[in-house]
């Protein structure tokens, strides 16, 4: 099969390319320079004519949350209109589209994991623009797989945020600061990109088109995640509990955004590890500490 991964140089896109390449597929990972999803004509030309893929996976997104708040037109042009451009081209080509979305479509008003059937209520421009993208993909591409995930980290840096992942950040702060302050009032599921890439491949091969949640299993606060990072790496530091009010962010984030992989589990396709198992696997990689 010929696989096109849009955002193929991103932290998830790189891992998806690796998984499909290892399986013997012809993989083309596209950077933003290769394909800007906001340019409808170019997206159409590349997908329907030049690349002729059998499957398209779209990981491209505007996900710098403060920048999305400052520039909502830009956020929607990438996350909504850009997603629609890809969906229209895939429909014309007659190929399935895997489109990545986010836990931030929810508002944090639950005390249990969100299922795919729960009503979204985004709090931020980023969440709203990603939700709009979901609707447009579903409307324009019959063979769509919309995959919501959360709190990604992995071997490849996140290009859009231009910063280390949470694990690397915690270990850096432990080396350079007298104490590390982490919030206790935001609960999510840290999700390892290598595991997610494998899940996406299985989903695209075996599942029915539709909406899916795909995160690691379990849940924790960011404080609990940091605590486990330090325990697993035997890092000695002063870890201090705090709340999101301390950081005075301009972006509203859900206090609870844990996802339930119900649709995957219902089809006996959920292969995601626990977040603790995934963290251990990541830390076994060279030079993670």
DSSP line for 243-254: -GGGG--SS---
**Residue whose token pair is 């091969």:** 205
pLDDT of res. 194: 97
Nearest to 211 by CA among 163, 149, 152, 275: 149
The active-site residue out of 126, 192, 223, 256 is 126
DSSP letter string, 88-144: HHHHHHT--EEEEEEGGGS-S--SSPBPTTSPP---SHHHHHHHHHHHHHHHH-SSE
pLDDT of res. 285: 84
Nearest to 87 by CA among 51, 135, 140, 36: 140
Query: Which positions of the chain have pLDDT values less than 50?
Result: 288-289
pLDDT of res. 245: 83
Structure tokens belonging to residue 10: 């991103």
Nearest to 156 by CA among 59, 273, 12, 28: 12
DSSP letter string, 143-170: SEEEEEE-SEE-SS-BTTTTB--HHHHH
Between β-strands 220-221 and 187-188, what pairing exists: parallel, antiparallel or unpaired? Answer: antiparallel
Catalytic residue at 126?
A: yes
Domains of the chain (ranges plus CATH)? 2-155+189-218+257-275 (3.40.50.720)
Report, in this order, helix, strand and coil percent for the chain, each rounded to 5: 45, 20, 40
pLDDT, one tens digit per residue, over 184-228 is 999 999 999 999 999 999 999 999 999 999 999 999 999 999 999
pLDDT, one tens digit per residue, over 49-67 is 999 999 999 999 998 999 9
pLDDT of res. 289: 47
Q: What CA–CA distance (Å, rounded) separates 31 from 13?
A: 9
Q: What CA–CA distance (Å, rounded) separates 5 from 54?
A: 11
For residues 28 and 46, is the Cβ–Cβ distance under 8 A? no
Task: For CA atoms 171, 176, 178, 182, give the dihedral sign.
Answer: negative
pLDDT of res. 160: 61
Nearest to 30 by CA among 54, 1, 51: 51
């Amino acid at each position: 099969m010929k696989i096109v991964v849009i955002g193929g140089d991103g932290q998830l896109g790189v891992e998806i390319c690796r998984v499909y390449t290892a399986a013997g597929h012809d993989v083309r990972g596209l950077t933003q320079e290769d394909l800007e999803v906001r340019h409808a004509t170019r997206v159409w030309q590349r997908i329907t004519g030049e690349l002729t893929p059998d499957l398209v996976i779209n990981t491209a997104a505007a996900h710098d949350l403060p920048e999305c708040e400052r520039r909502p037109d830009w956020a929607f042009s990438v996350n909504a209109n850009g997603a629609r451009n890809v969906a229209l081209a895939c429909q014309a080509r007659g190929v399935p589209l895997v489109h990545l979305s986010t836990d931030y479509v929810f508002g944090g008003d639950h005390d249990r994991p969100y299922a795919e059937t729960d009503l979204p209520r985004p709090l931020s421009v980023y969440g709203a623009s990603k939700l709009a993208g979901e609707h447009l993909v579903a409307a324009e591409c019959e063979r769509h797989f919309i995959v919501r995930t959360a709190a990604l980290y992995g071997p490849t840096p996140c290009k859009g945020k231009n910063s280390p992942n949470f694990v690397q950040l915690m270990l850096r702060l432990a080396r350079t600061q007298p104490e590390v302050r982490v919030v206790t009032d935001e609960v999510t599921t840290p999700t390892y990109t290598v595991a997610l890439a494998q899940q996406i491949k299985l989903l695209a091969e075996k599942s029915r088109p539709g909406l899916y949640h795909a995160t690691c299993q379990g849940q924790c606060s960011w404080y609990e995640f940091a605590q486990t990072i330090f325990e697993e790496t035997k890092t000695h530091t002063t870890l201090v509990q705090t709340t999101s009010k301390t950081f005075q962010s301009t972006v509203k984030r859900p206090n609870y955004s844990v996802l339930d992989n119900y649709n995957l589990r219902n089809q006996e396709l959920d292969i995601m590890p626990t977040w603790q198992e995934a963290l251990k696997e990541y830390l076994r990689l060279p030079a993670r500490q």
